[in-house]
Amino acid sequence: MRYLTDSHTMKAVDNCSIHEFGIPSVVLMERAALGVSAFLRKHAEHNNKKTGIKVVCVCGSGNNGADGLAAARQLNEDGIDVHVVFAGTSEGTDEYRLQKSIVGNLGIDCVEYDGNIDFSEYDYIIDAIFGIGLSRAVEGRYAQVIEAINKARENPDTKIIAVDIASGISADNGQIMGIAVKADYTITFGYNKTGIMFYPGASYSGSVKVINAGFVTEDILHKKVKCFGSIFTYDDEDVGRLLVRKPDSNKGTYGRTLIIAGSKNMGGAAILSASAAYRSGTGLVKVLTHEINKTALLCRMPECLISTYQDNMPLAAELKADFEWAKSIAVGPGLSMNVAAAEITRCVLERDDKVRILDADALNIIAGEHIDYKGSREGQIIITPHIMEMSRLTGKTVADIKEHMIESAKEYAIQHSCICILKDARTVVTDGQKVYINCTGNDGMSTGGCGDVLTGLIAGMTAMGLDAFEAACLSVYVHGKAGDYAASGKGRAGMTAADVSEAIAYVLKR
């Protein structure tokens, strides 16, 4: 597990380190700058640019600019030809004035930006204009500087290194504040930022490296900074930590899940979900589907138990036995929005003693019929909307949801006492308090059926007894890793949802 921070949390971490534990801000600044200068030197050496390189540090007048000035001084100490361009016009912070004075005393070449500097003449541009505190659109002189920096990208030999975050990106949601530096590399301090994770900020950040800038330790931050640790992401170690097999087990050990999926002409959704559920490691999977899909399921998924229904058949009584059998219930993939599908969805919502996963058409039925629901401690609910489905559920615009992914998901999770998996290029999972941001997956997964695979994964992992929130986070992580594995073999354009489902086994094996 790796913790992430937004601008407010990172400022709290900074203040805790400085004011409660007495670590001088200039010490933190020196550590941060050392991370930037060391990265630049290592990159130059790796690319056989050990001598004769030219570096320009473009500095604003805040603490981000002070970090850039400190990095310029350190590079100058190593004999590197480094220049400083001042983008800011104000007097700046105390730290900025201190660093500016030192740079001036050392005789490092410093100039004010006048609109005539060709940044493409440099091997490296260090972007230290704005840090994580940017709260309004970039305009005027600052916009001109950023435009000039981005123009330098026309020279393929010029590399741009952003200090903490590329200037112009919101550190909270990754939105571009009018204009932003398009960096090749970002050296960020302490913890990765949510604004670097989310798009479009992610595409402006280049390759991201997180360095230790000397803040107080995480155990202290958990005690002292209320908001610290509420936003996080997973890595491969979390898979092994959460998915544990027992040598003296049987199929009953790993749970039973019921997947309700597949209407007429949509049987593939049931197959994809069931396949992913079994590959998660669960013991038994039963599929409730339209009778027309039975033969296809038997041929493709002989491991599955199968129940069927007809369009005109009353379902409530028949569903009761299947619900009793299952430990978790997933409903929605390829279900359609007819009368039978609506009855099934209502029955699932009424069953408040099981973990229930609501996906696709189940969500469309809830939105279309304005069904109110709430999860409970005994019967938790996990929903898996993509952006358009979330728009139908909430009445918010797609643009508003994309700009406020965390807030939109948390608000809905709180209102309905559920776990919300809001799917996009960066998927957000939240129970209304904790927030997981997924960093796996790729655009090859923008293809029909991938959502059905995710639903099956969640159903399987919850059936195995994992905590519902952890199962939701882990399923999203493994789903993305499987997508990355599939893309490595088939290519992003040619991969299919079935490839993703198959790749789950390889991901878990590794």
Domains of the chain: 2-233 (3.40.50.10260), 254-509 (3.40.1190.20)
Query: How far apart (Å, rounded) are the C-alpha atoms in residues 459 and 273?
Result: 9
Q: Residue 176 has what DSSP assignment? A: B
pLDDT of amino acid 50: 67
Can you say how many angstroms the Cα of residue 496 is from the centroid of all Cα atoms in its chain? Answer: 22
Contacts of 372 (CB under 8 A, 6+ apart): none
Question: Strand, coil or helix: what is 398?
Answer: helix
Question: Known binding site for (6S)-NADPHX: residues?
Answer: 63-67, 131-137, 142, 164, 269, 334, 386, 452
* CA–CA gap between residue 61 and residue 72 (Å, rounded): 15
Q: What's the pLDDT score for residue 323?
A: 94
- Rounded CA-CA distance 272/278 in Å is 10
Mean per-residue pLDDT, 366-393: 96
Report how far apart, in Å, the C-alpha atoms of 97 and of each of 15, 34, 67, 100, 164 are: 20, 19, 11, 5, 20
Dmax of the chain from CA atoms? 86
**CA-closest candidate to residue 102, choices 59, 149, 47:** 59
How many CB atoms lie under 10 A from the CB of residue 127? 31
DSSP letter for each residue of 229-276: TSEEE--HHHHHHH----TT--GGGG-EEEEE---TT-HHHHHHHHHH
What is the structure's pLDDT at 88? 79
Known binding-site positions for K(+): 64, 127, 167
Annotated binding site for AMP: 423-427, 451
Q: What is the DSSP letter of 491?
A: -
Beta-carbon contacts of 148 under 8 Å, excluding residues fewer than 6 positions away, are 113, 115, 117, 119
Q: 3-class SS at 222? A: helix
Q: Which residue in the block uniquely carries the two structure tokens 């995480």?
A: 218
Find the mean pLDDT for residues 180-203: 98
pLDDT of residue 317: 77
Pairing outcome for strands 2-5 and 231-233: antiparallel
How do residues 225-276 score in pLDDT, each as one tens digit? 999 999 999 999 998 888 888 899 999 999 999 999 999 989 999 999 999 9
Whether 17 has a pLDDT exceeding 90, the answer reads: yes
Residue 420's CB is within 10 A of a number of other CB atoms, namely: 26
**Neighbouring residues of 331: CB distance < 8 A, sequence distance ≥ 6:** 259, 260, 261, 344, 345, 348, 356, 357, 358, 359, 362
Quick check: 51 pLDDT over 90?
no
Which of 427, 426, 343 lies closest to 383, judged by CA?
427
Contact in structure between 213 and 234 (CB atoms under 8 Å): no
Helix (H, G, I), strand (E, B) or coil at 319: helix
The answer to whether 169 and 205 have CB atoms below 8 angstroms apart is yes
List the binding residues: 63-67, 127, 131-137, 142, 164, 167, 269, 334, 386, 423-427, 451-452
DSSP 8-class letter at 386: B
Query: Cis link prior to 302 (omega < 30° from 0)?
Result: no
Determine the pLDDT at residue 315.
77
The pLDDT of residue 251 is 92
DSSP codes, 10-59: HHHHHHIIIIIT---HHHHHHHHHHHHHHHHHHHHHHTT--SS-EEEEEE
- Reported confidence tier of residue 314, pLDDT bands at 50, 70, 90: low
For residue 234, give Cα distances in angstroms to 7, 59, 68, 457.
21, 34, 31, 16
Predicted local confidence at residue 311, as pLDDT: 79
CA pair distance 469, 377, nearest whole angstrom: 12
State the pTM of this model: 0.95
